Amino acid sequence: MKFGKEFAAQMVQEWQEAYMDYRKLKSILKDILRFKQQNKEPLTMATTTTTTTKGALNRRASLYRAFSGLTNRYKPVSAMKNNEDEVILVSAVQEGGVEGDYQTMFLMSGEEGGEFELLFFRRLDDEFNKVLRFYKKKVEEVILEADELSKQMNALIALRIKVDNPVVKGTDMVNLADKGFSSNSSSLSHSHPINGGKQGRTHMDVIQETEMSNEEEMKEIDNRHFRPAPLDVLNHVKINVELETPIATLRSVIKSSKSDLSFSKQELRTAKEKITQAFVEFYRKLRLLKSYCFLNQLAFSKIMKKYDKITLRNASKAYLQMVDKSYLGSSDEVTKLMGRVEDTYVKHFANGNRRKGLKTLRPQAKKERHRITFLYGFFSGCSIALIVAIIVSIHARNLLKSQGRDQYMVNIFPLYSLFGYIVLHMLMYAGNVFFWKRYRVNFSFIFGFKQGTELGYREVLLLSSGLSLLALAGVISHLDMEMDPRTKSFRTLTELIPLFLLIVVLSVTFCPFNIIYRSSRFFLIRCVFHCVGAPLYKVTLPDFFLADQLTSQVQAFRSLEFYICYYGWGNFEERSNTCEESEVYKVLYIVVAIIPYWFRFVQCLRRLVEEKDTAHGLNGLKYFSTITAVAIRTIYSHQKQKTKTWLVLAAATSGIATMASTYWDIVIDWGLLNRNSTNPWLRDKLVVPHKGVYYAAMVLNCVLRLAWMQQVLGIQTVPFLHKTALVAVVASLEIIRRGIWNFFRLENEHLNNVGKYRAFKSVPLPFYYEYNADKSI
């Protein structure tokens, strides 16, 4: 792999604009090479004689130089580098006594083609200064964050002493901590001299541990002036109560989200969990910052060596020396911070087990396994074979014209169609993951997946192909058992096959054992619970993204309702039901369709209250219009004698909801239709290089949005297609539209993160310091 591709692949994608623009510099070098190739022949002919004469003179002059010695240990002055060989001079511009940007003076600009090389060094300086400024800014941020984490650790250890009340060899640690020991404000980011000159010991190193085992250790502690964390810190600290649960949300309505400490074990456990998460995320930030520094240094080295190779000069040495001496090459704050974080985490959160601690701080990347590829290929092949077998069976037995066709389509088809909707949605998600990875959209960070647990497209295809194989096996076994004279007596068992399949799927989904991607299953379940309790849970992107997916699975929810009606109150043994005649079923038919949109509506209201952004209010109105349209359209479709009044209401509400949703999809969610964009009617930054993809997606989104209006438009039946099959086709088109929407929605979110250099999650810290109460904290 060429360095340019490897460089792009290893970037922190949200920081890609802050990296050295390797492509731009390489394109300038190509211009220099092209110029030299065009002027190569005349240049060579004109300088052949001069080169020969100069070479002879150099060889003759070398006979009179001082001998440098066989071991090359002695270097006289005449052997030093000649200033005439210098190509560039690099200097730092002083701004107010502070070292500022770096500038390179190209000394050969008078030569033919020198303007190209002069342009190269100007662009090179711009890129280096950009990288240097960004790196300095990020290092300053992590140092401030390290100070804050140190204060959090002060409070945590004081709380630990207060709660645990440890006694070590007869010494009450609480009383010792209450003696008013005053500690200097220490932090992770700076070293403080301890005991008159020992450097490098930080706050994390001087904290009294409660696991002392003998008197010698206690004496050693006293000799080095070790003390427990001062408990007076707790007098100036409140605990942050994050609104992550319904109870916490309801409590926050009555009182502030910051409460006094109660010194309970639950409080200590919660604080420890939050600080642990903060340390893991902080260490990840340090690792990415170190990678950023290394990759850019490597990129400057590569581009300068390429310059030397093309121009036959020796400028790389001088420039790379400057890079090494600059803050980018000489700063070691990040490396030191990483070491201190490792020591602190191992000491306080891993019980001194370094291997365990580093395993948490440095999670291994997930390895691609060939068996997954083999299994999803095998399951897909079997699924295709079953589809062919079902088609052949239907055609051979002429089931489409049989007397039981309508009975089967009304009673059995909706049961199996549920699995079809789920499989189709999973296939679309697998395609999303594939293209997100291909175009470097950091979907795992956006969704908040724990590193190493996110499902790749192969894993999603494995699950979808496995579910399709299970469902298709149920369909063909259902047909065979019904047609085979030997199994006709097992009619009840035959009708229960769809129910068995549903129970198997639900059992796997809620299985507590660590099988079949448990972390991903529990992540999904947690997001579903957050959607159900939307107004009482803090709304995050995975929650409202999942709620959007559910709005495209309305027919799947109706299939679940039919399961309950068919097996609960229907005569499934005789393959008949009276669900359509029940008023309760009709009301629930509307409610079930509204529920996903209601989730999104209350999520928008919650975000409107928290963020005070009117855009969330407008988004809520959009979903409310959709709720109205779905309700009126469903009532109209269930009328035996359809009236013009309900038709006009259904058409009007559906039209308004469709236009509002389409506009929001394209303009707000996708960020397209920008008239002033450099890409006509799109946006300035595009992930997909082919602009036609965006125009096609906008048109397709508009067309598929109209599919749900087929009832209002009077398209109730299609030749050779049963009514329930038409409903399934329309529902499938909506799932396909949602799959397309997913890609561009996350692409726009990713570009927003790139524009704001947002590459890390903000982890809420447990303690809040009241700075106004005591400035010395």
E strand or H helix at 104, and its extent? Answer: strand 98-106
412 inside domain: yes
Place of tokens 């096996």: 473
Buried b (16+ CB within 10 A) or exposed e, 692-717: eebeebbeebeebbebbbbbbeeeee
Would you give the distance in Å from CA 373 to the centre of its chain? Answer: 24
Question: Whole-angstrom Cα distance, residue 260 to residue 236?
Answer: 10
Domain count, the chain: 2
Calculate helix-pair angle for 22-38, 40-62, nearest 10 degrees: 90
What's the rounded mean pLDDT across residues 304-315? 91
Question: Whole-angstrom Cα distance, residue 248 to residue 533?
Answer: 13
* Between 631 and 716, residue with greater pLDDT: 631
402 inside domain: yes
Out of 128-142, 312-326, 635-649, pick the least confident: 635-649
Residues 396 and 533 in one domain: yes
Contact 767, 241 (CB under 8 A): no
- Bridge-partner residues for 240, per DSSP? 258
| pLDDT score, position 744 | 96
* Between 93 and 434, residue with greater pLDDT: 434
| Percentage of residues in the chain having pLDDT higher than 90 | 47
324 inside domain: yes
Closest CA to 757 of 133, 314, 49: 133
What's the rounded mean pLDDT across residues 596-619? 94
Residues 639 and 506 in one domain: yes
In terms of average pLDDT, the best of 22-31, 200-209, 226-235 is: 22-31
Does 218 have pLDDT greater than 70? no
Residues 408 and 325 in one domain: no
* Amino acid making up residue 580: E
| pLDDT score, position 485 | 65
* Between 157 and 64, residue with greater pLDDT: 157
| pLDDT score, position 691 | 93
Place of tokens 């085992």: 213
626 inside domain: yes
* Between 641 and 657, residue with greater pLDDT: 657
| pLDDT score, position 532 | 93
Residues 296 and 385 in one domain: no
| pLDDT score, position 260 | 58
Largest CA distance in the chain: 115
Residues 6 or more apart whose CB falls under 8 angstroms from that of 445 comprise 14, 753, 759, 761
Q: For the chain, how big is the Rg over CA atoms in Å? A: 35
Q: Assign 364 a pLDDT band (cuts: 50, 70, 90).
A: confident
Closest CA to 22 of 287, 297, 328: 297
Query: Would you list the DSSP string of 256-319?
Result: -SEE-----HHHHHHHHHHHHHHHHHHHHHHHHHHHHHHHHHHHHHHHHHHHHHHHT---HHHH
In terms of average pLDDT, the best of 35-44, 91-100, 560-569 is: 560-569
Closest CA to 319 of 346, 349, 297, 350: 297
120 inside domain: yes
DSSP annotation of 641? S
Q: Give the torsion sign (CA, 202, 203, 204, 207).
A: positive
436 inside domain: yes
DSSP annotation of 62? H
- Bridge-partner residues for 237, per DSSP? 769
Buried b (16+ CB within 10 A) or exposed e, 424-438: bbbbbbbbbbbbbee
Residues 240 and 387 in one domain: no
Question: Whole-angstrom Cα distance, residue 50 to residue 343?
Answer: 65
Owning domain of residue 672:
370-756
| pLDDT score, position 723 | 85
Query: Quick check: helix, strand or coil at residue 114?
Result: helix
Residues 374 and 469 in one domain: yes
> What confidence tens digit (pLDDT) does each residue in 512-532 have?
999 999 999 999 999 999 999
| Percentage of residues in the chain having pLDDT higher than 70 | 78
Out of 358-367, 436-445, 733-742, pick the least confident: 358-367
Give the start-end residues of each E strand in 152-274: 167-168, 171-172, 192-194, 198-201, 237-240, 258-259
Q: Write a three-state SS string for 146-163.
A: HHHHHHHHHHHHHHHHHH
What's the rounded mean pLDDT across residues 573-595? 89
In the structure encoding, which two tokens stand for residue 614, read together?
């009117």
| pLDDT score, position 228 | 57
Out of 151-155, 244-248, 543-547, pick the least confident: 244-248
Question: Whole-angstrom Cα distance, residue 265 to residue 269?
Answer: 6
3-state helix, strand, coil in the chain (%, to 5): 70, 5, 25
Question: Whole-angstrom Cα distance, residue 688 to residue 665?
Answer: 18
Does 191 have pLDDT greater than 60? no
| pLDDT score, position 86 | 76
170 inside domain: no
Residues 432 and 298 in one domain: no
Does 400 have pLDDT greater than 80? no
Out of 5-19, 255-269, 445-459, 671-685, pick the least confident: 255-269
Does 49 have pLDDT greater than 50? no
What's the rounded mean pLDDT across residues 374-390? 95
> What confidence tens digit (pLDDT) does each residue in 113-145 have?
888 889 999 999 999 999 999 999 999 999 999
Out of 184-198, 229-243, 392-406, 468-482, pick the least confident: 184-198
Residues 298 and 412 in one domain: no
Compute the half-sphere exposure of residue 767: CA atoms within 13 Å on the CB side of its CA.
Answer: 29
Name the average pLDDT for the chain.
81
Residues 492 and 425 in one domain: yes
Question: Whole-angstrom Cα distance, residue 412 to residue 576?
Answer: 10
| pLDDT score, position 261 | 61
What's the rounded mean pLDDT across residues 607-621? 93
Query: Quick check: helix, strand or coil at residue 551?
Result: helix
* Amino acid making up residue 114: G
| pLDDT score, position 710 | 66
| pLDDT score, position 535 | 85
What's the rounded mean pLDDT across residues 466-471? 96
**Residue 469, number of CB atoms within 10 A of its CB:** 20
Question: Whole-angstrom Cα distance, residue 523 to residue 442?
Answer: 18
> What confidence tens digit (pLDDT) does each residue in 246-295 have?
666 666 655 555 555 667 788 888 888 889 999 999 999 999 999 999 99
Q: What Cα–Cα distance (Å) separates residue 173 from each residue in 129, 154, 162, 170, 379?
A: 52, 15, 9, 9, 62
- Bridge-partner residues for 227, per DSSP? 207
> What confidence tens digit (pLDDT) does each residue in 488-503 have?
666 778 889 999 999 9
Residues 240 and 386 in one domain: no
In terms of average pLDDT, the best of 245-249, 334-338, 647-651 is: 334-338
Out of 396-405, 559-568, 767-776, pick the least confident: 767-776
Residues 460 and 596 in one domain: yes
Q: Are strands 237-240 and 767-769 parallel, antiparallel or unpaired?
A: antiparallel
What's the rounded mean pLDDT across residues 224-244? 65
Does the pTM of the predicted model rise above 0.75?
yes
> What confidence tens digit (pLDDT) does each residue in 687-737 have?
999 999 999 999 999 999 887 666 556 556 666 678 888 889 999 999 999
| pLDDT score, position 365 | 74
What's the rounded mean pLDDT across residues 330-337? 92
**Residue 298, number of CB atoms within 10 A of its CB:** 15
Q: Assign 190 a pLDDT band (cuts: 50, 70, 90).
A: low
* Between 140 and 155, residue with greater pLDDT: 140
* Angle made by CA atoms 326, 331, 335, in degrees to the nearest 5: 150
Closest CA to 700 of 652, 726, 665: 665
Does 451 have pLDDT greater than 90? no
Out of 611-625, 636-650, 652-666, pick the least confident: 636-650
Residues 241 and 302 in one domain: yes
489 inside domain: yes
| pLDDT score, position 319 | 92
* Amino acid making up residue 145: E
